[in-house]
Amino acid sequence: MDKAIFAAGCFWGVEAAFRNVPGVLSTRVGYAGGTLQNPSYRDVCTDQTGHAEAVEVTYDPTRVSYDDLLGEFWKHHDPTTLNRQGPDVGTQYRSAIFYLDAAQEAAARASKDRLEKSHVFRHPVVTEIVPAETFWEAEEYHQRYLEKRGLAHCHTA
């Protein structure tokens, strides 16, 4: 089992998208990239902690590659909007890849370069590629939020 951490706006839709990928064993929503220890949703929503709403993906690399997960990441949000996804605005909604090792960093940077060179987007890709530090699990009511409401197949766009 390997892990990956992605931030692509509100974590509910991002989690639902990754849960539907064959080879993904589990997901957890939470907070990454900030300074406050053990932040709550209320803390992160102040836009003062530096955290992004993020999803930790546990996957079987014999069934799905990290590159495939990167493809899913790019597919389910707009990586050209700084600190915004749809109606959600603030640094907690930024696009970020939190790498766990040098191989993930290299893959993420190569994937971003390929995306930029493809000219799929008219604007520059602003996704951060930064080392993962502590991933703080979000409150239980956020876990599988859309699934609990019968909306598990809704995706961010």
**Model-wide pTM > 0.85:** yes
Distance, in Å, from the CA atom of 81 to the CA atom of 28, rounded to the nearest integer, reads 24
Marked catalytic residue, from 10, 54, 115, 146: 10
Burial of residue 83 (CB within 10 Å: 0-12, 13-18, 19+) is middle
Q: Judge contact between 53 and 31, C-beta under 8 A.
A: yes
**Could you report the per-residue pLDDT of 91-143, keeping only the tens digit for each?**
999 999 999 999 999 999 999 999 999 999 999 999 999 999 999 998 877 78
Please count the structural domains in the chain: 1
Domain membership flag for residue 156: no
Q: Establish whether 45 is a catalytic residue.
A: no
Domain membership flag for residue 153: no
**Could you report the per-residue pLDDT of 20-52, keeping only the tens digit for each?**
999 999 999 999 999 999 999 999 999 999 999
Domain membership flag for residue 157: no
- CATH number of the domain that 121 lies in? 3.30.1060.10
